[in-house]
Amino acid sequence: MKKIDEYQGKKVLVMGFGISGINAAHLLVKLGANVTANDKATPKNNDIVDDLEADGIKVITGDNPISLANEGFDVVVKNPGIPYDNPLVAAFVKQGTPIITEAELGWQIFDGHLVSVTGSNGKTTTTTLTQLMIAENAKHQVKYAGNIGISFSKIAEDLGPDDTLVTELSSFQLLGAPTIHPHIAIITNIFSNHLDYHKTRENYINAKLNITRNQTKDDFLVINWDRDEWQNIAQRSQATIVPFSRLNKSHEGSYVEDGMIYWRGQEVMPTKDIRLIGPQNVENALAAIAAAKLSGVTNDAIKKVLTTFSGVRHRLQYVMEYQERLFYNDSKSTDIEATEVALQGFDRPVILLAGGLDRGYTFERLVPYFKKHVKAMIVFGECKDKMKDAGNQAGVPVVESENAITAVPEAWKLSEPGDVILLSPANASWDQFPSFEVRGDKFIEAVEELTGKKEQ
């Protein structure tokens, strides 16, 4: 951990009691700040408040009182999910109070080698693969943190100048990270996500580009080269561009040619040996390979990781095989694009479990994928009727069920040996579950109950 004094004696407000907010509050106390912690909700667990107060932190819960804007805070550390049109946040913006996220605080105290990953899809898998690859050859600590569910600042506290940290960073985090400066930055792809938060696609792209804002020619931007738009976006960086591509050969980076992965013209391994399925995971592997090779990782270490790693939980995660049926948990597929990608990964008939929160859109875009890959569908949740309409357009048998749990035995009844039973909802979980993680866990439990086996 780097010793810094910029918070010594400063008055800091931490907004949000998530894992990152709580860790940030405690860290700021160590850095000499006078800390107030605020959350709009009242925590059900009193231990959270007790721990904060025991560290000398003033705690305010149950509201974001606008009066806090008049208390002379020097800095606000905001939970990334709190929008900038929140009245209290907007008041701080108006008066010019610096607003950062915990990722910025983590960067300020970090004293090692930083690799950062952002993008619309594939961030967590790419982050995990990159960390595993670099760790295979490393003589020092290699950790991951960030939007992957582990506090950046908490891990950064325990790392030294020879250590490496691979961070997954969301657009929300990057908006409040003005000085972050990874030596290697990765952009997996950019689609049109979170426009309810960012308002426009250009705002969203600009937030993503904060990952490379402070890079120089001595740093590297690893970026997907499969669309002209992404190639154009790369030109807005001052870093050395390192492309990765599943579709376009480029000797400046990692690419696929005739079923073989290459790094700058040298063979690395066949794509068929990657244990993760689907074209999206070839792209994730290419991104991780580029970062790993820039970090001095050997081909043998890369092969070891890619031939053994079976996936991040809830992200096209292999669950088990039972009576010649394969079960996959892709609960993280909360949008249409993710389900499109998931379906393209299978060359077997798919029994698809899909549905969830109704966000107002329909699913005609999925019809060609249903026609090509899906044998039958089980639909559930608020948008089940819209999902059913798309299935009917594709000529696919559709069965309605209550949720992702009750859908499992329904899917089993429709399946035959050789089929894939896939949870890939194409929708958020919040109509029936508190998170996609809970939805995926409940799906796995239902599979275990059906089969009498534990996930593999």
Per-residue pLDDT of the chain (456 residues; tens, 9 = 90+): 999 999 999 999 999 998 999 999 999 999 999 999 999 999 877 899 999 999 999 999 999 999 999 999 999 999 999 999 999 999 999 999 999 999 999 999 999 999 999 999 899 999 999 999 999 989 999 999 999 889 999 999 999 999 999 999 999 999 999 999 999 999 999 987 777 888 899 999 999 999 999 999 999 999 999 999 999 999 999 999 999 999 988 889 999 999 999 999 999 999 999 999 888 899 999 999 999 999 999 999 999 999 999 888 898 898 999 999 999 999 999 999 889 989 998 989 999 999 999 988 899 999 999 999 999 999 999 999 999 999 999 999 999 999 999 999 999 999 999 999 999 999 999 999 999 999 999 999 999 999 999 987
In a domain, 163, yes or no: yes
Bridging pattern class, strands 75-78 and 11-15: parallel
CA angle 260, 264, 266 (to 5 degrees): 50
Domain boundary among 100, 135, 170: 100
Number of domains in the chain: 3
Among residues 241, 230, 226, 224, the alpha carbon closest in space to that of 287 is found at 224
In a domain, 173, yes or no: yes
**Do residue 189 and residue 302 come from a single domain?**
yes
**Do residue 89 and residue 120 come from a single domain?**
no
Buried b (16+ CB within 10 A) or exposed e, 110-128: bbbbbbbbbbbbbbbbbbb
In a domain, 165, yes or no: yes
**Under DSSP, is residue 456 helix (H, G, I), strand (E, B) or coil?**
coil
CA dihedral for 246, 250, 256, 258, sign (positive or negative): positive
**Do residue 348 and residue 426 come from a single domain?**
yes
What CATH number does residue 39 fall under?
A: 3.40.50.720
**Do residue 59 and residue 87 come from a single domain?**
yes
In a domain, 456, yes or no: no
The model's pTM is 0.84
Give me the domain span that covers residue 15.
11-100
Domain boundary among 275, 308, 341: 308
**Do residue 341 and residue 368 come from a single domain?**
yes
Give the total residue count for the chain: 456
In a domain, 322, yes or no: yes
pLDDT tens digits for range 64-99: 999 999 999 999 999 999 999 999 999 999 999 999
What CATH number does residue 365 fall under?
A: 3.90.190.20
Kindly list the distances between the CA atom of residue 175 and the CA atoms of 21, 78, 128, 138, 197, in Å, as whole numbers in the listed order. 16, 11, 23, 31, 11
**Do residue 51 and residue 174 come from a single domain?**
no
**Do residue 142 and residue 259 come from a single domain?**
yes
CA distance 230 to 118: 13
In a domain, 359, yes or no: yes
**Residue 72, both tokens:** 């002379």
**Do residue 181 and residue 252 come from a single domain?**
yes
Q: Which residue has the tokens 């796995």?
A: 444
Is 101 in contact with 173 (CB distance < 8 Å)? yes
**Do residue 94 and residue 109 come from a single domain?**
no
In a domain, 5, yes or no: no
In a domain, 6, yes or no: no
Q: Please tell me the predicted confidence (pLDDT) of residue 411.
A: 98
**Do residue 156 and residue 267 come from a single domain?**
yes
**Residue 262, both tokens:** 């290459």
**Do residue 28 and residue 59 come from a single domain?**
yes
**Do residue 118 and residue 232 come from a single domain?**
yes
Is 255 in contact with 247 (CB distance < 8 Å)? no
CA distance 275 to 316: 12
Domain boundary among 273, 308, 343: 308
What CATH number does residue 256 fall under?
A: 3.40.1190.10
